[in-house]
Amino acid sequence: MSRIPRLSHEALRDFFYGIHTMFKAGYPISDCVSLMAEEESDSKTKELFSVLCNGLEDGAFFADVLSDSGAFPHHTVALLRVGENVGKLEDSLAAAAKYHEDRCRIARQIRDALTYPAILVMLMLVVICVLLTKVIPVFNDVYASLGGSMTGAAAGILSLGQWLNGALPVLVAVTVGIAVTALAVYLIPPARRFAVKLFCSIAGDRGILLAVSRANFASALSMAANSGATFEDGVIFASEMLADNKKASDRIKKCLSLLEEGTPLEDALKETALLPPSSCRLLKIGMQAGSGDESMSEIAERLTEEAERKIADTVALIEPALVIITSLITGAVLLTVMLPLINIMKII
């Protein structure tokens, strides 16, 4: 088989949803994968599914053929193996599909949150550059025709425009380079993971990043609980899922140390801020009532919605802020140039 890249969250979501739907209807797992292969249009993915099907027909376990393919995340395969061993494969498939669906939603929100402001910033810079390099020189010609010249701030703005006009080829090359780099990071998974890790290390673990890491962690625990694993094992699996976020990984390590010392799960999660206090209380009540997996699913859904809301709120603030900044800069530049011109016209 030719080299198969690791599947994206979208592909994993569709795969596990499809397998779960057919397995729940009573199809053998090998038939489920075979039907998925028949419906797949991408040649490489179709080849992958065919290899999985062959392994299942030879009597291998579902989790083993997924692991051998190298196309599925280790933590997801590990939890499916737990579900398969304890007779909860159907629940594990549903949990895996839900986990990757949540990751798709948050990734889509983050992508939109970064793309739209980036476009607005580019437009803002273009408007300001055109104003400084094309419009301001016109005013300078008007001053010259009236026998005067720009002075003070207006002269400084004119000089800046002239410098920008001379450096325009370099600025265009830099802009294209940044755009190409951003596209490469978006399209190449290793580069994307490196960028995420670098951004998390620089920006820390607060605000939106904290909300996203909590949502990811809660989804990992929910997936573990619904696959038949213990919450403690879920914390270990979550450490693999959040490996790109060093701050979150450090908190998970501290949580595991507290658990080894005998600290109750909800207290360890609260002390390390892996989950907010309200979620820890809900989990504690659920565990006392014998429905910890259901409580964890509810917590994961709430935290995912909270992360999406924080991202949307941030975008809603950035958009008008950029418009206001552009308007203020444009207005300040025009007023700086036009007010002296108006005074000259009055004298004439």
**CA 321, CA 313: separation in Å to the nearest integer?**
13
pTM: 0.70
- Residue 16 pLDDT: 92
Q: Which helix (H) or strand (E) holds 62?
A: helix 62-69
Using left for φ > 0, alpha for ψ between -120 and 50, and beta otherwise, residue 273 falls in: left
Look at residue 199 in the predicted model and tell me its pLDDT. 66
pLDDT for the residue numbered 166: 80
Strands (E) across the chain are located at none
Positions in the chain whose pLDDT score sits under 70: 1-5, 146-150, 186, 189, 192-193, 195-205, 244, 337, 339-348
Radius of gyration of the chain (CA): 28
Q: Which two tokens stand for residue 99?
A: 């986990």
Residue 1 is predicted with a pLDDT of 45
Contacts of residue 342, defined as CB under 8 A and 6 or more positions apart, other chains included, come to none
